[in-house]
């Protein structure tokens, strides 16, 4: 018969109701009217919601739109002090962190520039450490700020798809990021979520994988009321997991965002809950356990599983019974209901009828390869390769399979097929590959390379090239003896640079990737900025460069210590 539904050992939930959100699932209340919006643009509108699905991570904040332009004042959300400043090639580009006395920290990313006090601190750090990228903490007395104070200018820096301000509220103690709309920083929203498809997974006691029998059913409806495209009573037997394809919009934007919560009910009782209230950053890769990862990798289908894999550790699952897996083994008809909400409380629902039938457990299937277990150290090895996976990196037990094929052109080993790319890795695992030929003088140039062209780094030890890699796939050994290439864009020997604002380059490397770049003028280090979108490396002239003749020099070093140099005399 159906497993009896008991909600035990689960996180205590509360249903909060206010003028904005109706019956929103939360574990606790958050301060209201304490924080202000980071921008003065009204109505506030977003291009990205908290917790929405992104490749390999949950989105960690709200992306406030800035009318597709940069240059808006960014305000401190509350009184506090700037506790951290970061400048990076990708990611947030430029970001500041403000710690507040109420136990929370706000984060502002993709900035065009900082306040003058912070600009001075960043420049000092960059010159002292001779680096463009910067990440440092400040004391409470260095840059205190008041609520409403302009702390930065909005921009499009780093890995952003367009101008906006990425905004987060974090727990200062745990560094968990929290849905900012739960603090009252709401976005006008009267639009319920949309449901486009459901998934049915026949688990039957076996680990989830790309081989799990499944079916996807189309859904139609509107205004929060949905039903199957083909109305039917589903005939199911055994251990079943459900999934759903769903998204949301708000009243100010046409962007399709993530939903706030998904509940799955069986005969009126909740068996599974997902809610994007808060999460820790070391959990965010577990999105690959939450979605149907094989479907995403194969077809870019965002099917959200309403059952929990045993190796998934993330706080976005506040409650479940039997990890959301339902056993159908009687002759009754049952009601299955999906309830999807956005953070404003707008609701979409879908009801199914399921005819259950008796189930006979199939005979255990003998593994084809080597069994790896999600909660144990797992290892595979032969005379050419070794794979070591530590606990916490698999989301479910795995029938691990290995094979090898001929040595690719230019490689120093066979191509080793390490399972397949349809099984995700949470963090990384260790791979050892033995060269098929003597590396000789190239041992310090050896790297592990994937079949899709990505260099995975590596070092030589005990006859193997060893690296940490983050995905299953096909790997071999190559060596990197080729130095990086410097492409000057607006300078050559003898150039007159009086009218130029900057000196610009592109740079490239054939394999291991560029590790560092150093620019000097007349032997003195100068700050060079690497732009994520244009990939242009540039030095911007300042008053330190006097009129007259000078020598510019650029040195590039790749990750295997091959280097290139460019030098040019110029006048200013």
Mean pLDDT score, 161-167: 96
Checking if the pLDDT of 13 tops 90, the result is no
- Residue 14 has a pLDDT of 55
Checking if the pLDDT of 6 tops 80, the result is no
- Residue 275 has a pLDDT of 98
Question: What's the whole-number average pLDDT of the chain?
Answer: 94
42-91 pLDDT, tens per residue? 999 999 999 999 999 999 999 999 999 999 999 999 999 999 999 999 99
Q: What percent of the chain has pLDDT over 90?
A: 92
CB of 115 closer than 8 Å to CB of 60: no
Cα dihedral sign for 365, 368, 373, 377? Answer: positive
The residue with tokens 């430029």 is 94
- Residue 4 has a pLDDT of 35
Checking if the pLDDT of 329 tops 80, the result is yes
Q: Which domains, and CATH codes, for the chain?
A: 46-180 (2.70.70.10), 194-356 (no CATH), 370-479 (2.60.220.30), 485-571 (2.60.40.1220)
- Residue 203 has a pLDDT of 95
Query: Residue 501: CB partners within 8 Å, gap ≥ 6?
Result: 540, 541
Neighbours of 183 (CB within 10 A): 19
Using DSSP, state whether 121 is helix, strand or coil: helix
Q: pTM of this prediction? A: 0.93
- Residue 53 has a pLDDT of 97
Mean pLDDT score, 122-151: 97
Mean pLDDT score, 340-354: 97
Q: What values do phi and psi take at 479, rounded to 5?
A: -120, 145
The span from the CA of 107 to the CA of 102, in Å, is 15
Mean pLDDT score, 543-572: 96
Neighbours of 32 (CB within 10 A): 12
Checking if the pLDDT of 12 tops 50, the result is no
Cα within 13 Å of Cα(155), Cβ side: 21
- Residue 11 has a pLDDT of 39
- Residue 360 has a pLDDT of 81
Cα within 13 Å of Cα(6), Cβ side: 4
Checking if the pLDDT of 1 tops 70, the result is no
- Residue 544 has a pLDDT of 85
- Residue 3 has a pLDDT of 39
Checking if the pLDDT of 498 tops 50, the result is yes
The span from the CA of 139 to the CA of 21, in Å, is 37
Q: What percent of the chain has pLDDT over 70?
A: 96
Query: Residue 544: CB partners within 8 Å, gap ≥ 6?
Result: none
- Residue 336 has a pLDDT of 98
Mean pLDDT score, 302-308: 98
- Residue 22 has a pLDDT of 58
- Residue 452 has a pLDDT of 84
DSSP state of 365: P
The span from the CA of 560 to the CA of 514, in Å, is 9
417-456 pLDDT, tens per residue? 999 999 999 999 999 999 999 999 999 999 999 998 799 9
CB of 213 closer than 8 Å to CB of 201: yes
Checking if the pLDDT of 19 tops 80, the result is no
Mean pLDDT score, 395-400: 98
Using DSSP, state whether 313 is helix, strand or coil: coil
Neighbours of 117 (CB within 10 A): 14
CB of 432 closer than 8 Å to CB of 464: yes
Using DSSP, state whether 440 is helix, strand or coil: helix
Give the containing element (helix H, strand E) for 120: helix 116-129
- Residue 365 has a pLDDT of 79
487: β partners: 506
Checking if the pLDDT of 119 tops 70, the result is yes
């Amino acid at each position: 018969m159906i497993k009896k539904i008991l909600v035990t050992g689960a996180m205590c939930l509360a249903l909060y109701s206010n003028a904005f959100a109706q019956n929103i699932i939360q574990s606790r209340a958050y301060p209201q009217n304490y924080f202000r919006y980071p921008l003065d643009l009204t109505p506030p509108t977003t291009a990205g919601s908290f917790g929405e699905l992104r490749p390999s991570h949950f989105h960690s904040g709200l992306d406030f739109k800035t009318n597709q332009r940069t240059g808006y004042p960014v305000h401190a959300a509350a009184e506090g002090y700037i506790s951290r400043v970061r400048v990076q090639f990708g990611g947030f580009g430029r970001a500041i962190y403000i710690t507040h006395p109420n136990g929370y920290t706000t984060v502002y990313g993709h900035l065009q520039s900082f306040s003058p006090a912070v600009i001075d601190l960043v420049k000092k750090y960059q010159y002292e450490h001779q680096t463009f990228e910067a990440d440092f903490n400040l004391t409470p007395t260095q840059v205190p700020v008041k609520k409403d104070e302009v702390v930065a200018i909005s921009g499009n820096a780093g890995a952003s798809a367009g101008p906006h301000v990425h905004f987060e509220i974090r727990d200062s103690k745990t560094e968990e990021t929290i849905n900012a709309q739960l603090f009252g920083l709401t976005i006008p929203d009267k639009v319920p979520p949309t449901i486009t498809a459901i998934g049915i997974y026949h688990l039957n006691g076996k680990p989830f994988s790309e081989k799990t029998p499944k079916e996807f059913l189309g859904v139609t409806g509107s205004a929060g009321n949905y039903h199957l495209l083909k109305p039917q009573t589903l005939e199911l037997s055994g251990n079943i997991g459900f999934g759903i394809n769903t998204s949301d919009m708000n009243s100010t934007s046409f962007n399709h965002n993530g939903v706030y919560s998904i509940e799955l009910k069986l005969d009126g009782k909740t068996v599974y809950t997902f809610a994007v209230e808060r999460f820790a950053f070391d959990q965010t890769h577990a999105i690959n356990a939450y979605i149907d990862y094989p479907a995403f990798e194969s077809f870019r289908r965002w099917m959200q599983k309403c059952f929990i894999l045993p190796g998934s550790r993330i706080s976005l699952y506040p409650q479940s019974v039997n990890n959301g897996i339902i056993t159908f083994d009687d002759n009754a008809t049952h009601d299955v209901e999906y309830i999807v909400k956005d953070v404003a409380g707008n609701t979409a629902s879908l009801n199914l009828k399921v005819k259950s039938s008796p189930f006979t457990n199939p005979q255990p299937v003998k593994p084809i390869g080597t069994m790896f277990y999600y909660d144990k150290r797992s290892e595979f090895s032969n005379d050419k390769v070794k794979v070591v996976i530590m606990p916490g990196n698999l989301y479910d037990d795995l029938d691990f399979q290995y094979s090898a094929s001929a040595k690719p052109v230019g490689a120093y080993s066979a191509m080793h097929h390490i399972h397949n790319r349809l099984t995700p890795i949470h963090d990384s695992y260790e791979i050892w590959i033995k060269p098929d030929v003597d590396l000789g003088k190239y041992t310090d140039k050896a790297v592990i390379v994937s079949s899709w062209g990505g260099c995975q780094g590596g070092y030589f030890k005990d006859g193997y090239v060893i690296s940490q890699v983050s995905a299953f796939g096909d790997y071999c050994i190559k060596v990197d003896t080729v130095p990086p290439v410097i492409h000057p864009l607006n300078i050559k020997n003898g150039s007159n640079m009086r009218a130029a604002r900057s000196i610009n380059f592109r740079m490239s490397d054939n394999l291991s990737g560029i590790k560092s770049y150093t620019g000097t003028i007349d032997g003195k280090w100068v700050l060079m900025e690497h732009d994520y979108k244009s990939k242009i490396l540039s030095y911007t002239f300042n008053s330190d460069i006097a009129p007259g003749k000078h020598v510019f020099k650029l040195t590039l070093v790749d990750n295997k210590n091959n280097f290139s140099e460019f030098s040019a005399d110029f006048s200013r």
